[in-house]
Structure 1
């Protein structure tokens, strides 16, 4: 293997000037960060082949050069590095795919050996690699004596493959020259399309990224060539109504004005290329064509803040930045046009925990799009949020990361996690896991809470599944003492409020108390003295009475189960109709946190969503309804809580009932509300 000119030049620069930064190289040689990264991958491959140490790069863009290289490579200056670039076998395979998708004539081995200047045996090996490259697209390389080599399969998949291959070859050294040579494209044609795309930028009031501006003329050229060759997309899952009203569709009409009669499906496909292209700036956050996008991104950021225990600064500005990425990503995900992200593996390895939290926070986006967010797209979001946190001098690396591990099932694990989150709001709780899941867990963490002993090198705190008030207080002191070496002093928020009230007028006492609690809890030198528990916490049998128990044979959906189960509480005015809608809106079937045991679910929402007084109701179904995949539920208990305290005794009693299969089965078989209530009374003791 020999180095190309660009890689050789960069290597000599770093050896001569080891203090140079990545950004300096970008400016000096007019290269993008990705191009430099690509070259250093090649340099390190070359160094390894020559048994020399690799050149490493830091997060700050500095280069770490082993002293051995200064001595070894000084002698190499005497040798002449070749000016001829030799593509790797994968790069040749990508070029073969490009030839097959761009040429209309019959292609033989001779065409490939002539174009790539390698032997027949090398090409035969490259064809096998090319087949592996196209298999994910459900395409196949076919050969016949009459027609030579061709790619068989769905035209839409061929277009996706073509776009991916173009972008890969452009990342190579002299990539543009290779494409123009292999596909017989003139510089004039590319320049003409480039100018037309710049007009589109002006019309849409946005700026595409430099990387996309480089690839789009080639993509359009190849797409138009295939249309002329009669290789048309026939059946298409693109919705005309969704795209035809966009500014991008109108821009496409102008772009294709001189290209004759082009089918509607193809116009929509070109529109998608504009819609899915990343932009570096835009005057508009979004359009009416994607309703609720801003709200979904805002909810995503709030969810991330909650899970990462971080307050994002200048959130409006960050929202705008993310929308620039999310709008094209919306169409890429929806229409299955996502491609691999070259930084995916790097980001996943370097920012594993941050990436994990970002993926968990993308639920509002996936709900809006109707599809899971692919790894390549969530990687970009991790990069954006990671960069923003660095800018504001914040990082999850400095926060305590905790796990909850419980052998008693998902429901108890989640209940434990919820209680511990309240007790340690300054911790990031990454996951609630089973013991087996914990044994295979590969993210970094600092603390584990579990009711059982676990093999771990990190801090392990053995805690009961259900903690009483005094146990919580002792646990917090113990954990902070072990982690930080101090005992937190007590701060009584009520006393602080009394002092403030002596000297000023408090306009919203409840909001002020909430903010003070959050501030004091996040300050690691103190802990909040909890409010004394109020007396009069009702037992389970006092909340679930025969009047709030209803028995039905079956329902058509989990939504209907929630509405039917909540009916007694609506009738006695414990809740409002808005509370019912909030329960339905907040529930996520992919994350069934409300399922606390086999056959039992506890739908609930926040007190401010419409709770008039603490209450519970129970719906018993003879035939279970799915609240999650493979989770049929026969017993639905609606919980309406006024605060975080009053319903807890009843909830603990209900949790004990949930793990008793005999009594759960008895409720499912019960013939009357009174029979159900008798079973509940067994658990209604302190």
Structure 2
């Protein structure tokens, strides 16, 4: 069974309702006859592995509802399918190159990249034009040195913003969380997805989620799904970058302002937990960016890195509330409606 069949089976499994052959043909840009041939291959694959076969419902479509155990078994089998006979599109190659570069600790050679993509050196050299253009839009550069290879050059803040952008090109931030948790996120292309997952490989995110739950208790709030997912992604990315000795820097003035907030103290507590769990040292500047997330529960990762006015607005709102509390001797820390109302106005 080839890569397209693997994608086809994944799409049928994830569908809530039976999928028509015409819909599958349109989605994969092939003929209905090709889809029928692929479905036969899938049935052979399932039969060979002693799994239930596809259900073909007249006037309805194709359906497959395996048990939890069967689904896990299928996902494991699909992971082992070689993609040697799957021709990557230029867009897929660009994303795979970017993913490899972002997770590399130093230079990568053209030969290494060609081997990963199963293409020629010339194809990689041509793909790098699109990579350079993409990086330029994110204030980054592709550095090339003879006998060393290529690597991404730029400040760490722009690096992380670019990684988040790469993720968001394929899925919403909430779905990106599934990328870390699941063996493979079947909502997007299986080849590109496998590469994106490598950004967070070997990372157990349960300590991150535990730290966030503690923060919610201390702040007496519950983050929105989007804010929660954004914070998990931010922390997971930060930990992976720190493990590569890539530390972020925050302007001292902004960091000093953030240190005055209660959220900074909560963020520092989270960091203490994470340092112990992952056996790393997280710098103070990193605590500052975590604080920004805690201050802006409805702000996504991309917004946080790019919108400094939003951060200042939240700091100002926090100071206003503290001033009112001192005058009236009343605690408004749990009044989310007051806080959000002031932010909006």
The TM tier, using the shorter chain, reads 0.5 to 0.7
Q: Give the deviation of 1:12 after TM superposition.
A: 9.6
TM superposition shift of 1:223: 2.0
1:107 counterpart residue number: 108
- Matches of 1:288 and 1:138 in 2, distance apart? 27
* Counterpart check, 1:191 vs 2:206: yes
2:97 is matched with 96
Q: For 2:16 and 2:137, how far apart are their aligned partners in 1?
A: 39
The residue aligned with 2:4 is: 2
Shift of 1:150: 0.9
Any residues of structure 2 matched to 1:316-465 within 5 Å, and which?
323=340
Change (3 A) 1:166 1:74: closer
Residue number in structure 2 paired with 1:465: none
- SS of 1:239's partner is helix
Quick check: 1:204–1:248 contact (8 Å CA) kept in 2? Answer: yes
- Over 3 Å counting, the alpha-carbon distance change for 1:6 and 1:233 in structure 2 is same
CA distance in 2, matches of 1:92, 1:197: 35
Which residue does the alignment assign to 2:138? 137
Unaligned runs of 5+ in 1: 19-39, 52-68, 281-286, 295-318, 328-364, 369-686
Shift of the 76–192 alpha-carbon distance from structure 1 to 2, 3 Å rule, reads: same
> In the alignment, what sits opposite 1:126?
127
**1:266 aligned residue:** 286
Pick from 32, 36, 41 the counterpart of residue 80 of structure 1: 41
User: What is the distance in 1 between the residues matched to 2:211 and 2:118?
Assistant: 35
Query: How far does the alpha carbon of each residue in 1:56-97 deviate from its partner, in whole angstroms, 9 at most, with x for none?
Result: xxxxxxxxxxxxx7xx68845754359557665334423322
Would you say the 8 A contact 2:295–2:314 is kept in 1? no
Higher gyration radius (CA)? 1
Partner of 1:203: 218
Please give the alpha-carbon distance, in whole angstroms, between the structure 1 residues aligned to 2:25 and 2:134.
Answer: 24
**Conservation of the 8 A alpha-carbon contact between 1:102 and 1:222:** no
Q: Which has the higher helix share?
A: 2
Could you tell me whether the CA contact under 8 Å between 2:267 and 2:287 is conserved in 1? yes
> 2 CA distance for matches of 1:154 and 1:179?
21
Three-state SS of the structure 1 residue aligned to 2:105 is coil
C-alpha distance after superposition, 1:506-547 (max 9, x if no partner) = xxxxxxxxxxxxxxxxxxxxxxxxxxxxxxxxxxxxxxxxxx
5 Å-filtered alignment, 1:641-656, equals none
Partner in structure 2 of residue 291 of structure 1: 317
Q: 2:247 aligns with which of 232, 251, 259?
A: 232
Q: Which has the higher contact order (CA 8 A, sep 6+)?
A: 2
Q: Is the 8 A contact 1:98 1:166 kept in 2?
A: no
CA shift for structure 1 position 276: 4.5
Q: CA deviation at 1:190?
A: 2.4
Q: Secondary structure at the match of 1:291?
A: helix
Match of 1:172 in 2: 188
- Cα distance 1:193–1:14, how it changes in 2: closer, same or farther (>3 A)? same
Alignment correspondent of 1:253: 268
Please give the alpha-carbon distance, in whole angstroms, between the structure 1 residues aligned to 2:17 and 2:259.
Answer: 51
Runs of 4+ in structure 1 off by over 6 angstroms are none
- Given the two structures, how large is their TM-score scaled by the length of structure 2? 0.55
| 1:531-580 C-alpha deviation (Å, 9 max, x unpaired) | xxxxxxxxxxxxxxxxxxxxxxxxxxxxxxxxxxxxxxxxxxxxxxxxxx
How big is the alpha-carbon RMSD for the aligned residues of Structure 1 and Structure 2?
4.7
Give the whole-Å Cα distance in 2 for the aligned partners of 1:97 and 1:123. 12
Distance 1:208 1:164, change over 3 A: farther
SS of match in other structure, 1:150: strand
Query: 2: distance between equivalents of 1:243 and 1:229?
Result: 26
TM-score by length of 1: 0.31
In structure 2, do the counterparts of structure 1 residues 205 and 110 end up closer, same or farther at CA, with 3 Å as the change threshold?
A: farther
